[in-house]
Structure 1
Amino acid sequence: MEPRARVGKNRGQQNFSDSELRAFLYAFGDVDEPIDGTKKVLDEIVTDFITELCFETARSAQLAGRQKVKVDDVKFACRKNPSYLGKIDRMVVAKAHIDATKKLVDVNDDKILSNANAAAEEPLGANDDDADTQTVGGRSGAGGK
């Protein structure tokens, strides 16, 4: 069966929750409680858009001789709409920025682990009570004694 025909079998079923559709409509200026018909129409429009975009993206990957879809395939499918391309580019740049930031703070860094382990392994003595110590100028000393 043709993949697009399979999509037609689910016609009339709502794919997004009422709360998602209500929030989406409200964000774009609708009332708090939109009419059920409005939610159904929006659900159908968004579902059709996503389905068509996925088919175009898969077709682009297939023409390139690949089974897996890449970001470039999505860009190619959106090539006729500059606003979609701009949003995709912004998301790619944001993801690269997030990945670079994650690499700056490496949780498997030996220095971080060795400092944490050293602090955890230091035994506490009988005289180790924070109530009578005071930090002054970066040094610990007896408070007022």
Structure 2
Amino acid sequence: MAEPRMRLRQKGQQFSNPELAGLLEAFGDTQPLPATLTTLDEIITDFIIETCHSAAICASYSRRQKIKVDDFKWVLRRDAKKLGRVTEIFFAEKILKDNRKAFDIGTGEGLVQGKKGAVKELGVDDEGEEGGRKKKKRKTEA
């Protein structure tokens, strides 16, 4: 498989100045210079492009054309801070998705009635058995 093609970059900044200034302000720079904003924009853009290319190469080793989340995790495996942050974001996204499923927007009730997973999370099955296992019913010959 061929290497990913480099696309032509847009001229100028990729990120807006208020976003970059907010990022720098979070790290203590109250009034960043325009040259600082331009340099930060180039650094961030190059990092994103290089990470995406590395993830594409990782996917090509697995004989896939589509990039998966695991490819990005593989690229960031040596940087514990970045990998931890990515894992944290995906965990938070999963919790939000589960909470959205459990909340019924139409009626305003907390749990959706009739969902098996809502009661199962508490350790009790729909039949009232604890432990989460159901007993199999044996067929009787008639």
Find the partner of 1:87 among 82, 85, 88.
85
**Greater helix content:** 1
RMSD, aligned CA: 2.1
Say which one has the larger Rg.
1
Aligned with residue 77 of structure 1, among 75, 78, 103: 75
Shift of 1:2: 6.6
| Alignment size in residue pairs | 106
State the secondary structure of the residue aligned to 1:72. Answer: helix
- The TM-score, its normalising length taken from structure 2, stands at 0.67
Whichever residue aligns with residue 26 of structure 1, its letter is: E
CA distance in 2, matches of 1:47, 1:16: 9
- The alignment's TM-score, normalised by the length of structure 1, stands at 0.65
Instruction: Give runs of ≥4 in structure 1 deviating > 6 Å.
Output: none
Structure 1 Cα separation of the partners of residues 24 and 5 of structure 2: 30
Give the whole-Å Cα distance in 1 for the aligned partners of 2:41 and 2:51: 15
Alignment partner, residue 25 of structure 1: 24
1:53-85 alpha-carbon deviations (Å, 9 max, x no partner): 111111111211222221111100101111111
2: distance between equivalents of 1:81 and 1:41? 23
Post-superposition offset of 1:88: 1.0
- Residue 3 (structure 1) aligns with: 5
- The 3-state SS of whatever aligns with 2:32 is coil
Match runs of 1:22-61 below 5 Å:
22-31=21-30, 33-61=31-59
Counterpart of 1:3 in 2: which secondary structure?
A: coil
After superposition, give the CA deviation of every residue in 1:8-36 in whole Å (9 maximum; x if it has no partner).
x54x62111111111111111102x3111
- 2:78 is aligned with what amino acid? K
Q: 1:106 to 1:58 in 2, by over 3 A?
A: farther
In structure 2, what residue type is equivalent to 1:80?
R
What 5-or-longer segments of structure 1 have no aligned partner? 114-145
Of Structure 1 and Structure 2, the greater strand share is in 1
Alignment check: 8 A CA contact 2:4 2:53 kept: no
1:2 and 1:95 map into 2 onto residues whose CA distance is 29
Unaligned runs of 5+ in 2: 109-142
Change (3 A) 1:82 1:61: same
* Partner secondary structure for residue 89 of structure 1: helix
